[in-house]
Amino acid sequence: MTQTVLAWVMTFLMLTSCGTQPSPEQPDTNETDGSIQAEQDTAVSSDSGGPEASKPGYTFDFETWTVTLNNGYEMPIAGLGTYALSDEECYNSVAALLEVGGRLIDTASYYGNEEAVGRAIRDSGVPREEIFVTTKLYPTEFDDPEGAIEGCLERLEIGYIDLMLLHHPGTGDVEAYHAMEQAVADGKIHSIGLSNWYIEELEVFLPQVNITPAVVQNEIHPYYQEQEVVLYIQSLGIVVNGYSPFGGRGHTSELFADPVISKIAETHGVTSAQVILRWNIQRGVVVNPGSSNPDHIQENLDVFGFTLTSEEMEQIASLERGEKHEWY
């Protein structure tokens, strides 16, 4: 297993060291002209003509900023998390994201802000089909998953849900997942997946369901990299989505000030936050950092104008501490 993981890691580093950027048509988050710059001379061209980076089981397309899930739907690879945002903060943050071209929004019934997310989407003027919304069912809702799914749909009021996850394992999780499978069949949800599921849990859970999860969302940051877990999930053709990319509550300042990350940021003329997000993306990990600051929301999307070298990726890999900062 260790040799396989090392081989996958080396493959990642070789593939991502070339780097790719989005085309000039993409929404821009630069302070100068508002667009993410493209450096086509560093792009890796695919057979279809677009720059992309290959990962085990799926591909990140840096022209469209998307990844195609195992069911054919496209998911943006960078966006916004809304945990701990009040209704007003959430509304304003989602509006700010959509205004600067971001299209991925992560919420949950547990967050209590689905209504604000839906309202900001409806008020934005952005076509619904361009936006990708993730929400989650909490374990306390597993006893009536059908009702919980309807509740999410009613609060969001956006027609359908792009991705619904089980928030973390709990009693009745298999039955709740079956309810999500039925909602997919009914056209209420496009894609389904899991959050806070790791190798042992996945090995037990997956044989009991009919639809392979499209996404698994786990805590991932330089101090908690979950390298073996990430590669295992990716080997199944399941997209990995990392939450708390900046280390989680109470740990962000320490991570941003880390000498290794700060030095890399200085080298590229970017922020520590951008280095961390780019590191995740080059590992094939979708990112949706939380923020209520419009400038930070814009900055967090501007991660396609530079590429981390293999050496820099290795330097960040060396920061692993096994420090899981969230409680589940």
Report, as residue numbers or ranges, the catalytic residues.
111
Length of the chain counted residue by residue? 328
Q: How far is the CA of 178 from the CAs of 27, 149, 181, 183, in angstroms?
A: 38, 12, 5, 9
Output the six-digit token pair for 25: 């048509």
Q: Alpha helices, DSSP H only, in the chain?
A: 2-16, 87-99, 114-124, 145-156, 173-185, 199-205, 227-235, 252-256, 259-268, 272-282, 294-301, 310-317
Cα dihedral angle (29, 220, 266, 62), rounded to 10 degrees? -40
Query: Which of 96, 107, 21 minimizes the C-alpha distance to 62?
Result: 21
> What letter does residue 207 receive in the DSSP assignment?
G
How far is the C-alpha of 76 from the C-alpha of 126, rounded, in Å?
A: 15
Output the six-digit token pair for 127: 């076509």
List the Cα angle 148/192/328 in 5-degree steps.
75
DSSP 89-150: HHHHHHHHHHHTT--EEE--GGGT-HHHHHHHHHHH---GGG-EEEEEE-GGGTTSHHHHHH
> What letter does residue 283 receive in the DSSP assignment?
T
- Residues 6 or more apart whose Cβ sits within 8 Å of residue 55: 12, 15, 234, 284
Angle between helices 310-317 and 259-268 (to 10 degrees): 160
